[in-house]
Amino acid sequence: MDENRVGMTTAQETAQAQQHEARDETVRKKVLIKSYGCQMNAYDATRMADLLAGQGYDETEAVDQADLVVLNTCHIREKAAEKVYSELGRLRVLKRERAEAGLETTIAVAGCVAQAEGAEILHRSPAVDLVVGPQSYHRLPAMLAQAAQHRRPVDTEFPVDDKFGALPRPQSRRIRARGHTAFVTVQEGCDKFCSFCVVPYTRGAEASRPPEKVLEEIRHLSEAGVREITLLGQNVNAYHGEAADGRLWSLARLLEAAASIEGVARLRYTTSHPRDMGDDLIAAHRDLPQLMPYLHLPVQSGSDAMLAAMNRKHDRALYLRLIDKVRAACPGIALSSDFIVGFPGESDADFNDTMRLVEEIGFAAAFSFKYSRRPGTPAATRAAQVEDDVASARLHALQALILAQQTAFNRATIGRTLAVLVEKPGRHPGQVTGKSPYLQPVHFDASPALVGDIVAVRIEGQIANSLSGRLIGHGAATHASGSRPAAVALASGGLP
Ligand code: 5AD
Ligand code: SF4
């Protein structure tokens, strides 16, 4: 209890609370954080929101009401980076309109475009008040104070201080408002230097958070009601966090420790590199019931010539061997990947190798992109750039194949009973929606009181990329990989 309240009557407490609120209302401001790109950006956006909440900012979705707009940007492909400047153009107009109404607006550019372009953004976009890279956003409060004095600060350092250690612990109330699934960044940066990719330049060298810090964050999330945690890293399976005793932990060890935290029903991790897919991690897919049967393992191409040109450090055979091992450890696992088509020098035969690889493996989902030249990366200056219409046709063919595989994967779950983590009320009254172990959205009729529970749902149909089903069990459902009969699944764990 607040010490000031000792000895107060309820009426006095109420009056004090009202005064606090009234004062808060006059001083509190509004922030809109617009996040682009990957899940790590989404995680950073939540950490920034938590930090700014302590600085007097409440979140809003209405851009014209925002006293502070943060664009948390993505630099991975040209289109993503271009979006930032068109958005800044719109914000400039808005800032002027608000100024005419006597309102100040601060515009911050964060994320990977901030990192890559730094002060250049201030020159190109006069409306921008501050630029903060992904490793520096814990310094936002001080930077906002500088921005208020029109000093237009830029911070794109890779500081030695611990960003996560400097960020406030999110309040339970704020965690609950975000639902029952959460991301936790465990690793940042990349040392692989694929020849097309900006990540090693924007996010820097590989660094892993200490396991104790990660586990403490997971414990805190779990205590606030989070049931599913996704461990994030640009190269998450290269995780090698140093524990207090000086030992290095692998991702498999971290997952095992996370699984033993009470309340953690489901674990996922993304994104992985084939070269770092260790046997212990593969074994975790067999041994850890909380680890969901889903693996996102980007291959980028099925052609050895392209893989070498991409500096991927693995070939087609290694990838196929890994997939065999993973499937042996976890039969029925949903596999996902990333592909790039139209990489410099890609011939029809190379592209054909990619199509054959996809046919051979059979993916549950996958992302595919046309190669985008990124200044400063080795592939950007290669002579044999592929014509855009050729790349478009390849992308179209690959996406059609992937969609057919995704549809087949989803169809194969019809008639099965899957454990579904109920995430939110559905679009129609009386309906809820959640995720299967394979990350498929599942809609079914049930009470919204089930949100946050894991229930057994019999899958009955497929609508585009989601499934529809019927609730058949509640009260003791689990992680259930879905590959086991429902009775076993329901008996093998328990809800608190
Ligand atoms: N062009 C197209 N796609 C890219 N990716 C990364 N860099 C590029 C690029 N220059 C894709 C890769 C990666 C995913 C996150 O984005 O497939 O796995
Ligand atoms: Fe980029 Fe390659 Fe590192 Fe992935 S592994 S972040 S594609 S350089």
Closest by CA position to 416, among listed 293, 323, 301, 325 = 293
AA letter at 105: T
**Would you state the pLDDT for residue 44?**
97
Residue-wise pLDDT tens digits, 389-442: 999 999 999 999 999 999 999 999 999 999 999 999 999 999 999 999 999 999
Specify the CATH number of the domain 24-155. Answer: 3.40.50.2300
Rounded to the nearest whole angstrom, what is the distance from the C-alpha of residue 474 to the centroid of ligand 2?
A: 41
CA distances, 324 to each of 236, 355, 405, 460 (Å): 21, 18, 18, 30
Which ligand sits nearest to residue 274's alpha carbon?
2
Mean pLDDT of the chain: 91
Q: Where in the chain is the domain with CATH 3.30.750.210?
A: 177-292
Query: What is the rounded average pLDDT of the residues 460-472?
Result: 95
The bound ligand whose nearest atom lies closest to the alpha carbon of 39 is 1
Q: What is the pLDDT of residues 230-257, one digit of tens each?
A: 999 999 999 999 999 999 999 999 999 9
**Alpha carbon nearest to ligand 1 atom 16, residue:** 76
Residue 476's pLDDT is 45
Is residue 489 pLDDT above 50, yes or no?
no
Q: Encode pLDDT of 208-227 as tens digits.
A: 999 999 999 999 999 999 99
pTM (two decimals): 0.90
- In ligand 1, which atom is closest to the CA atom of 298? 18
Question: Could you tell me what percent of the chain has a pLDDT over 70?
Answer: 90
pLDDT given for residue 205 in this prediction: 93
Strands laid side by side in the 334-341 sheet: 294-296, 334-341, 365-370
Pocket test for ligand 1, best of 38, 236, 346, 369 (most atoms within 8 A of CB): 369
Q: How far apart are CA 50 and CA 29, in angstroms?
A: 14
Q: Which band of pLDDT confidence, cut at 50, 70 and 90, is reported for residue 285?
A: very high
Determine the Cα–Cα distance for residues 140 and 155; give it in Å rounded to an integer: 9
User: Does position 480 have pLDDT exceeding 50, yes or no?
Assistant: no
- C-alpha 373: how far from its chain's center? 24
Residue 475: band (very low, low, confident or very high) from pLDDT cuts 50, 70, 90: low
* Mean per-residue pLDDT, 68-84: 94
At 27, the pLDDT band (50, 70, 90 cuts) reads confident
pLDDT at 26: 55
Protein residue with its CA nearest to atom 1 in ligand 2: 197
Q: What is the pLDDT of residue 194?
A: 98
Fold of 298-412: Transcription Regulator spoIIAA (3.30.750)
| Topology of the domain comprising 177-292 | Transcription Regulator spoIIAA (3.30.750)
Q: Would you state the pLDDT for residue 364?
A: 98
Q: Is the pLDDT of residue 11 over 50?
A: no
Q: What is the pLDDT of residue 464?
A: 85
pLDDT tens figures, 319-377? 999 999 999 999 999 999 999 999 999 999 999 999 999 999 999 999 999 999 999 99
**Ligand 1 shell residues, CB under 6 Å:** 76-77, 196-197, 298, 300, 338, 340, 369, 371-372, 374
Which residues, judged by CB distance below 6 Å to any ligand atom, belong to the binding site of ligand 2? 190, 192-194, 197, 199-200, 234-235, 273
CATH 2.40.50.140 residue ranges of the chain are: 417-491
Report the atom number in ligand 2 closest to the C-alpha of 193: 8
**Alpha carbons 440 and 418: distance in angstroms, whole number:** 10
Residue 198 CA: nearest ligand 1 atom is 7
For residue 19, pLDDT over 50 is answered with no
15-24's contacts with Cβ under 8 Å and 24+ in sequence apart are none
For residue 485, pLDDT over 90 is answered with: no
What distance in angstroms lies between residue 199's CA and the mean position of ligand 2's atoms?
A: 6
Which regions of the chain carry the CATH code 3.40.50.2300? 24-155
Specify whether the CB–CB gap between 233 and 271 falls below 8 A.
yes
Please report the pLDDT score of residue 160 as a whole number.
67
Tell me which of 477 and 171 has the higher pLDDT: 171
In the chain, list all ranges with CATH 3.30.750.200: 298-412
- The C-alpha atoms of residue 389 and residue 184 are separated, in whole angstroms, by 39
pLDDT-above-90 percentage for the chain: 86
Which is the CATH superfamily of the domain at 417-491?
Answer: Nucleic acid-binding proteins (2.40.50.140)
Residues 91-110 have a mean pLDDT of 97
